Chains A and B, each alone.
Chain A
Amino acid sequence: MFYRESGQFKTSYQKDQQVFPIAQDRIFIALLLVVAFAVVPFVADEYWLQAVIIPFLIFSLAAVGLNLLTGYAGQVSLGTGAFMAVGAYATYKITTAFPEINIVIVFLMSGMVAAGVGIVFGLPSLRIKGFYLAVATLAAQFFILWLFNKVGWFFNDSPSGTITAPPRTLFGIMISGPEATAEVRYFVSLTFLVVFTVIAKNIVRGRIGRSWMAIRDMDIAAEIIGIQPLKTKLMAFAISSFYCGLAGALSVFAWLGGAETEAFSIAISFQVLFMIIIGGLGSIMGSIMGAAFITLVPIFLTNMPAMFGIPMATDLSKHIEEIVFGGLIVFLLIVEPHGFARLWQIGKEKLRQWPFPY
């Protein structure tokens, strides 16, 4: 009753092509943004922002990036952690070498560096396909982390081998370093996520996105209709790595405050892959929902026994949490193998008829 497009007429091509053709969607997204920008930072306390919401935003960005590559262009990648590390270490190197450059520009530059690295490790995708392609990105994963761990130049020869986010300001407000407040870091992460989600949404519905999907569905056929596999695949690797690099930079500068290579291990690569599978391959919204599921549910499960006042040994509650989380994944896949994105769609379909289904 409330969620219907009937009566909404499009009178120009431009209107017909907008991202959210249904007015209710636009209202919903606008409300979501208002809540995210104006309500959340004033309601959530530091624990929620710092430990729950900021990591969720950063992983969402990485998941959107990986979904561009895996979900849209069909290239499996297990190198997300490494590309994030490239972004983080590049930001650290650039901003310590040239402290006067605006930090936002440094973030974007680091994204570019990550994109370059992504192109190099994307080259084998021209020859190797499917699960086998994972080897190229796995090589990237292990080689890059080894490099950052081994070569002192990357961490300014600090004997500890770790990088620390130095204090940096934007418009006179501290946005990184220990002095930056959780609210500011939340705004920075959120802004990056929103801006780059909008960009991603537009990429995938444009020419580039369509050529990616053609390659994904059958690359030989795509080649025959005139899509260059080389250019298209490498562009997917570049753009995806840019997103991951940005997420990596944010994870050190807006979230963790410091890192060693262990923070970008293969476990992270897998985690981001889980996010996009459970969220839905080939869906921007799904990436974000998947990130929410993988980052938030374990935290929620951990806090559950304490919330209901059930005293439980720490290890036992962790194990139960793992069992429940695992069971939940299997259950969700059985209910809807195509992830949250599909559930979301089904939800919308139901909503059209609600409350009078026929």
Chain B
Amino acid sequence: MKFRSLILGALGVAVGITGIALSKAAYAAEQFIPMLVYRTGPYAPSGIPVANGFRDYYTLVNKRDGGINGVTVTFEECETKYDTKIGVECYEKLKGKGPTGASLFNPYSTGITYQLIPKASVDKVPILSMGYGRTSAADGRVFEWVFNFPMTYWSQASAFVKYVSRQEGGYDKLKGKNIVHVYHNSAYGKEANPTLVALAKRYGYKLTLLAVDHPGQEQKATWLQIRRLKPDWVFMSGWGVMNSVAIKEAAAINFPMDHFVGNWWSGTDADVIPAGQGSVGYKSTTFHSAGSGFPVHADIIKHVYGGDAAKAKENNIGEVLYNRGMVNAMFGIEAIRTAMGKYGNKSMTGEQVRWGLENLNVENARLQALGMKDFTRGVKVSCADHETGGSLRIQQWDGTKWKFVSQWLSPMRDIVRPMIEKDAAMFAKENKITPRSC
């Protein structure tokens, strides 16, 4: 009896497998964009708003504009649980879908991005890791298929130092200041370290690096050290639950919150809300606005949610990471549009989208037309520079919403770019890549 049910089960599996192989159908003029999302698992509170931002923007493009120049955007979500291995499986599953294959991938995970970088050039699918992933991918001569505009972690760290110098009243005031970097003990968290170290040499501030292990629910040791060091500034590269715990612990040792700055993955609503009143005054970097007061949001409520603002709110509209997903989706769509400008209004292949990304030039006029004026800054990508000279702003949590507290701060490219080129050259040598000439 038991044995028979097992056989039947095996048969069921076999039938299912054949089913997968047969499910290929005909396509109309469609542009397929894969989505790697994490709506479950430890990082779901960050993953859900990002995924909703993407989904709503793509839907908006279809409903409001009738697609990209008449070509419908199709998209499919694949749940990764923020797990690199499942992410790779998702990539393999989605890369060939649609009439021309996947347009581009937005992995939203450092681990998955690193997996996809070597595969991208072979499979001819571009990767847009917007503000994360491998920093040295900014060198387009080595990393032809990877884009990380508008800014990288290294640029971000330099812009943070610039912000501190403005607050302190000049670069010469940095000398002798105490800065602590609290970071997620992973490839992602360590990214900012080399830049902060290099800048410490240049400006003479004292830098202390404190690592927090995944997942970061227990940070007493870190914050006791900070309590003793009494640093002038704390910079944090955190992710997920680590952020809210850090903010709570900072409040518990009475650290002045306005001297505590998170990077752009440590400054979303889900990070500050659990800490309650303790988080008031906490700052973070960002490269786009928070809130839902822009024309594009009005369009989303109107076209995607049929005017139901409460439902849109339920779907995280206006949250920092929702807006980030939206900005990212917008850049992807504009790149496809750029590619269509050259190759005609039909489904674009990965190679064509790559050309579009490399020649992407989103100006302020274009942003205004999209309802995103002053929402974020335009970018101009070039063959050698996949990062562009993007800049960031500092936002502060006032207990109910994020507010900007600085002007746009540009990174110190003179220090960051040589480091990027050095690392890219090392990668090229190790992997026998001949850099393009741009």
Interface hits, A251-267 → B, CB 8 Å: 256-263, 265
Shortest A168–chain B CB gap in Å is 10
Q: Given A159-B135, A160-B114, A160-B191, is A167 in contact with B431 using a C-beta cutoff of 8 Å?
A: yes
Q: How many residues of B contact A (CB 8 A)?
A: 52
Taking CB atoms, residues of chain B closer than 8 Å to A51 are 88-89, 92-93
| B3 part of interface (Cβ distance < 8 Å) | yes
Q: Given A257-B115, A260-B111, is A162 in contact with B39 using a C-beta cutoff of 8 Å?
A: no
Shortest B437–chain A CB gap in Å is 22
Instruction: Name the contact of B118 in the complex, choosing from A158, A258, A350 (C-beta under 8 A).
Output: A258
A-B contact count (CB 8 A): 130
Interface residues on A, range: 35 or more
| B85 part of interface (Cβ distance < 8 Å) | yes
Taking CB atoms, residues of chain A closer than 8 Å to B191 are 159-160
A96 and B430 contacting across the interface, CB-CB below 8 Å: yes
B2 and A335 contacting across the interface, CB-CB below 8 Å: yes
Q: Given A50-B92, A178-B121, A178-B122, is A158 in contact with B85 using a C-beta cutoff of 8 Å?
A: no
User: Which of the 9-residue segments A75-83, A219-227, A314-322 touches chain B?
Assistant: A314-322
B118 and A308 contacting across the interface, CB-CB below 8 Å: no
Shortest B41–chain A CB gap in Å is 8
| B426 part of interface (Cβ distance < 8 Å) | yes
| A337 part of interface (Cβ distance < 8 Å) | no
Provide the bound-state CA to CA distance between A259 and B67, in Å: 37
A158 and B426 contacting across the interface, CB-CB below 8 Å: yes
A257 and B118 contacting across the interface, CB-CB below 8 Å: yes
* Complex interface bits, A144-160 against B, C-beta within 8 A gives 1, otherwise 0: 00000100000010111
State the B residues within 8 Å of A (CB). 2-3, 6, 13, 16-17, 19-20, 23, 37, 39-40, 44, 48, 51, 77-79, 81, 84-85, 88-89, 92-93, 96, 110-111, 114-115, 117-119, 121-122, 134-136, 185-187, 190-191, 194, 214, 419, 423, 426-427, 430-432
B19 and A350 contacting across the interface, CB-CB below 8 Å: no
B118 and A164 contacting across the interface, CB-CB below 8 Å: yes
Provide the bound-state CA to CA distance between A119 and B130, in Å: 44
Taking CB atoms, residues of chain A closer than 8 Å to B136 are 159-160
* Main DSSP-derived SS at the B contact region: helix
Q: Given A159-B423, A256-B84, is A314 in contact with B39 using a C-beta cutoff of 8 Å?
A: yes
User: Which of the 9-residue segments A17-25, A238-246, A297-305 touches chain B?
Assistant: A297-305
| A307 part of interface (Cβ distance < 8 Å) | yes
A318 and B79 contacting across the interface, CB-CB below 8 Å: yes
State the A residues within 8 Å of B (CB). 46-47, 50-52, 55, 96, 149, 156, 158-162, 164-167, 177-179, 256-263, 265, 299-300, 302-304, 306-308, 313-315, 317-319, 335-336, 343, 346-347, 350
Provide the bound-state CA to CA distance between A158 and B425, in Å: 11
B2 and A178 contacting across the interface, CB-CB below 8 Å: no
Provide the bound-state CA to CA distance between A262 and B113, in Å: 13
A51, A158, A159, A164, most chain B CB atoms within 10 A: A159
Q: Given A51-B93, A260-B111, is A158 in contact with B84 using a C-beta cutoff of 8 Å?
A: no
What are 30 A-B pairs at a CB distance below 8 A?
A: A46-B92, A47-B93, A47-B96, A51-B88, A51-B92, A156-B430, A158-B426, A159-B419, A160-B187, A160-B423, A164-B427, A178-B118, A178-B119, A178-B121, A178-B122, A257-B118, A262-B187, A300-B13, A302-B79, A303-B16, A303-B93, A307-B20, A313-B39, A315-B48, A317-B79, A318-B81, A343-B3, A343-B6, A347-B3, A347-B6
A149 and B185 contacting across the interface, CB-CB below 8 Å: yes
Q: Given A160-B191, A167-B432, is A256 in contact with B115 using a C-beta cutoff of 8 Å?
A: yes
B186 and A149 contacting across the interface, CB-CB below 8 Å: yes
B430 closest partner in A (C-beta)? A166
Taking CB atoms, residues of chain A closer than 8 Å to B110 are 260
Q: Given A260-B186, A335-B2, is A307 in contact with B23 using a C-beta cutoff of 8 Å?
A: yes
B93 closest partner in A (C-beta)? A47
Taking CB atoms, residues of chain A closer than 8 Å to B118 are 164-165, 177-178, 257-258
Shortest A143–chain B CB gap in Å is 12
A43 closest partner in B (C-beta)? B21
